[in-house]
Amino acid sequence: MSIAAKTDKPPYDIADLVPHSGTMSLLDDTLSSDENSLTATVGIRPDSLFATEQGVPAWVGIEYMAQAIAAFAGVQARLAGEDIRIGFLVGSRKYTCDAPYFPIGSTLTIHVARELQGENGLGVFICRITSETDSANMIVAEANLNVFQPDDAAEFLKNEISEG
């Protein structure tokens, strides 16, 4: 399945799509979305959450991917006239990145594409991050993420805590 962007920029602010607040909302913007994919961006700045002198550690790429999936789910909810719901990152497979850090000053483009979505709330997304610092230093990170979005997150968490 291709993960390239296919349609125009969603008419929503990222803060209206991802149920994170303050510094935990890591994405800057959405570029495009369709019924199965979304493309978002984040600029790596000295004041970015997790930033060090070398940049943002590559492992943070998984969270960028997860938040892009949340933005995708947010767009789908808005289009359906529904409320934004909380989802959970269940796991990742085969996360790779060409570099140990995303450098300060780079702009990351995060592509997520739904590969599978069950009626039970479980989903699998193919994710890719590209970083444009200059043409000689392109960084690519890739993974498949497994996610879960229950119908009622509060009830789900209550049940998980009482069973744990």
Domains and CATH numbers, the chain: 14-163 (3.10.129.10)
- Please report where in the chains the tokens 């959405």 appear, as a residue: 30
Q: What is the pLDDT of residues 126-138, one digit of tens each?
A: 999 998 765 566 8
pLDDT computed for residue 81 by the predictor: 94
4, pLDDT greater than 60: no
CB distance 2 to 113 below 8 Å:
yes
Which is more confident, 138 or 159?
Answer: 138
Evaluate if residue 57 carries a pLDDT over 90.
yes
Nearest CA among 90, 102, 89, 91 for reference residue 141? 102
